[in-house]
Amino acid sequence: MDSYPPILRHQNNQPQNLTNPNNTTDPNPIQDSDPVPTIDLKYLNHKNLDEACKEWGLFRLVNHGIPLTLMEQLQDVTIQVFSLSFESKQEACNECPITYFWGTPALTPSGKALSNGTQNINWVEGFDVPLSKLEQFQHQVPSLESIRLLLLDYATHLSRIATTLFEAMAKSLDLNLKETKSYLAENTGIVRVYRYPRTDVGWGMEVHTDSSVLSILNQDDHVSGLQVLKDDQWLTVKPISNTLIINLGDMMQAISSDTYKSVSHRVKVEKDIERISICYFVFPGDGVMIESSKYKPFTYNDFREQVQQDIKALGHKVGLGRFHLNQDS
Active-site residues, by number, are: 275
Q: Which does 194 bind (CB under 5 to 8 A by kind): ligand AKG, Fe ion, none?
A: ligand AKG
Smallest gap, in angstroms, from Cβ of residue 318 to ligand AKG? 17
Nearer to ligand AKG, 155 or 267 (CB): 267
Name the site residues for Fe ion (rule: CB under 5 A).
210
Taking CA atoms, 211 is separated from 79, 110, 119, 318, in Å, by: 27, 17, 19, 11
Report the DSSP pairing between strands 38-40 and 265-267: unpaired
**Burial class, 22, CB count within 10 angstroms (exposed 0-12 / middle 13-18 / buried 19+):** exposed
Q: Which does 239 bind (CB under 5 to 8 A by kind): ligand AKG, Fe ion, none?
A: none
Nearer to ligand AKG, 105 or 284 (CB): 105
Nearer to ligand AKG, 49 or 193 (CB): 193
Smallest gap, in angstroms, from Cβ of residue 263 to ligand AKG? 10
Q: Tell me the C-alpha distance between 184 and 166, whole Å.
A: 8
Name the site residues for ligand AKG (rule: CB under 6 A).
105, 192, 194, 205, 210, 217, 219, 226, 265, 267, 277, 279
> In a 3-state reduction of DSSP, which class is residue 309?
helix
Smallest gap, in angstroms, from Cβ of residue 215 to ligand AKG? 6
Q: Which does 244 bind (CB under 5 to 8 A by kind): Fe ion, ligand AKG, none?
A: none
Q: Where are the beta strands (DSSP E) in the chain?
A: 38-40, 58-62, 99-102, 125-130, 185-196, 205-208, 214-219, 226-230, 233-236, 244-248, 265-267, 275-283, 289-290, 298-299
Nearer to Fe ion, 124 or 144 (CB): 124
Q: How many other C-beta atoms are found inside a 10 Å radius of the C-beta of residue 179? A: 11
Contact 199, 13 (CB under 8 A): yes
Which residues are paired to 195 by β-bridges?
Answer: 125, 276
Smallest gap, in angstroms, from Cβ of residue 26 to ligand AKG? 17
What DSSP character marks residue 31? Answer: P
CB-based closest residue to ligand AKG: 277
Nearer to ligand AKG, 50 or 206 (CB): 206
Smallest gap, in angstroms, from Cβ of residue 223 to ligand AKG? 10
